[in-house]
Amino acid sequence: MKDFISAYLKEHEAYFREVSAYIFNHPETRFEEYDSAAYLAAECEKQGFKVERNVADIETAFMATFGSGAPEIGFLGEFDALSGLSQKPGEVSYQPMERDIGHGCGHNLLGTGAFAAACAVKAYLEENDLPGTVTFFGCPGEEGGSGKTFMVREGVFDGVDAALSWHPSPVNAIISNSTLANYQVYFQFKGKSAHAASSPHLGRSALDAVELMNSGVNYLREHVIPEARMHYAVTNTGGYSPNVVQANAEVLYLIRAPRTDQVDEIYKRIVKIAEGAALMTETEVTVKFDKGCSNYVPNRSLEALLYDEFVEVGAGKATEDEISFAKQIWETLPETEQKNYLDPLVAFGYRGDGSDFEGKYVAESISTYKGEAGLLPGSTDVGDVSWVVPTAQLTSATAALGTALHSWQMTSQGLSDFAHRGTLRAAQAMAQTGLRLLQSEEELKQIKAEFEDFRSKHEYINPIPEEVKPSPLSAE
């Protein structure tokens, strides 16, 4: 099995590099991944998958299936980019391109790696005439859209026995930590315009309401749990004329905490602050729920299996040119980021003391897996999948040590040979794990027993209300 998967990925290496490059060169933000989704779906059909488009009534969501019967193993692919992270690839200085959208979180690699894993599993099932089902899920809008959460709400993952995913980063490890649940909510204030000099008393400033709300939330920060996060962006200041009292203004909040019930509690307090700001300014406030996602639930049995296969694949070695390039990337980082470069790696699952990185600028080892509880201070809609399907994730080194996600440095490294090899390492480890699950009833039974035990003690409630529909950034 392992020799087959390795040979398959090596034989098709150039093809998967082309897939990654296409997605990289067509960066699109949440729920507007029209080119990337259409391209990937078409490639799935060329590879012999049966493709269903417009999944969960999301134009850029799809699922590609091969085989029949149980078990069904799913691979989660993402392909959305981020605004503000355009960057010319292969450069060691900030060089944005004309369209300011880029793959600063490596989703061109993520989607390609999951696709490659699904293709490899399909090829093995065909070659050996084996039963079972492999499904590649084209999941849009992870960045600020929670596409998978909408898909979970609509039952897209029902019947899947296990799901596998991965994420690019500077390190090789199993992502064993939970994540922060979140809500993203718009607060839209409506007041009354007036001449700011001759009749200010007739105006009711929506911008004043936004500022008062933000001030109130800033006072709230002292009175929430330490792990909570409350971010905001003023998305509408009411215009560019200071001599007009602003009649309309809007602020977007992203509220995070380790559990959805904690997010909900903080959200309700923030709503009260918004209502108070509206009362103080005699304006009206409309609360518009945008999206939410749940915390990630690790499945230790599946993680252990994925770790074994990852170790079997190995971490690989960087070339001298790649190390030189990584060193130049490292030198673009502020001193504080260099000093604390291990912190984000620990969040991703690294469990060492940094000694294996001494004198290096790239990771050439796989971190020990301990399966211990921890918290990754970020959010992902993979969390909602993990509540309905046993799920495991790995991270494979595709960037220099110290590289932050959502940075121009990450975008710059998105088409490198080092990143591509890291993508195929992840694909091979996931494919081998998927095939073990398809062929080992006992291992899958253990994984599902752990999942069912957790679910028997914890109720899942999808955090996105039924009336909320996915929308692109441009629609806000």
- What are the residue ranges spanned by the domains of the chain? 2-178+295-455, 181-294
Q: Which fold has domain 181-294?
A: Alpha-Beta Plaits (3.30.70)
Main-chain phi, psi angles of 3, to 5 degrees:
-65, -40
CA 249 to chain centroid, in Å, comes to 29
Per-residue pLDDT tens digits for 426-470? 999 999 999 999 999 999 999 999 999 999 999 999 999 999 999
Per-residue pLDDT tens digits for 147-206? 999 999 999 999 999 999 999 999 999 999 999 999 999 999 999 999 999 999 999 999
Distance CA 270, CA 293 (A): 18
State the DSSP H helix or E strand holding residue 284, giving kind and residue range, or none if neither: strand 284-293
The CB density around residue 405, as the number of other CB atoms within 10 Å, is 19
Helix (H, G, I), strand (E, B) or coil at 35: helix
Angle at 160 between CA 134 and CA 181, to 5 degrees: 120
Helix (H, G, I), strand (E, B) or coil at 368: coil
Residue 422 clears pLDDT 70, i.e. is over it: yes
- Among residues 236, 407, 437, 263, which one has the least CA distance to residue 337? 407
Identify the pLDDT of residue 373: 83
Distance CA 101, CA 82 (A): 5
SS (H, E, C) 136-202: EEEECCHHHHCHHHHHHHCCCCCCCCEEEEEEEECCEEECCCEECEEEEEEEEEECECCECCCCHHH
Buried b (16+ CB within 10 A) or exposed e, 164-191: bbbbbbbbbbbbbbbbbbbbbbbbbbbb
Distance CA 426, CA 309 (A): 10
The CB density around residue 193, as the number of other CB atoms within 10 Å, is 18
Helix (H, G, I), strand (E, B) or coil at 179: strand
- Among residues 321, 451, 386, which one has the least CA distance to residue 178? 386
Read off the pTM: 0.95
Is there a shared CATH topology between the 2-178+295-455 domain and the 181-294 domain? no
Distance CA 294, CA 256 (A): 10
Residue 303 clears pLDDT 70, i.e. is over it: yes
Q: What is the mean pLDDT of residues 208-235?
A: 97
Distance set, CA 387 to CA 77, 125, 254, 298, 455 (Å): 18, 28, 21, 9, 8
**Domain 2-178+295-455 superfamily per CATH:** Zn peptidases (3.40.630.10)
The residues with which 51 forms a beta bridge, in sequence order, are 64
Identify the pLDDT of residue 476: 37
Identify the pLDDT of residue 366: 97
- Its sign, for the CA torsion 391, 301, 372, 432, is negative
- Mean pLDDT for the chain overall: 96
Q: What is the mean pLDDT of residues 221-250?
A: 97
Per-residue pLDDT tens digits for 8-30? 999 999 999 999 999 999 999 99
State the DSSP H helix or E strand holding residue 49, giving kind and residue range, or none if neither: none
pLDDT confidence bin for 327, thresholds 50/70/90: very high
Per-residue pLDDT tens digits for 377-399? 999 999 999 999 999 999 999 99
Residue 41 clears pLDDT 60, i.e. is over it: yes
Residue 474 clears pLDDT 90, i.e. is over it: no
Give every CB contact of residue 175 below 8 A, 6+ residues apart in sequence: 167, 348, 349, 376, 393, 394, 395
Identify the pLDDT of residue 475: 40
Give the pair of three-digit tokens for residue 196. Answer: 């700011």
pLDDT confidence bin for 81, thresholds 50/70/90: very high
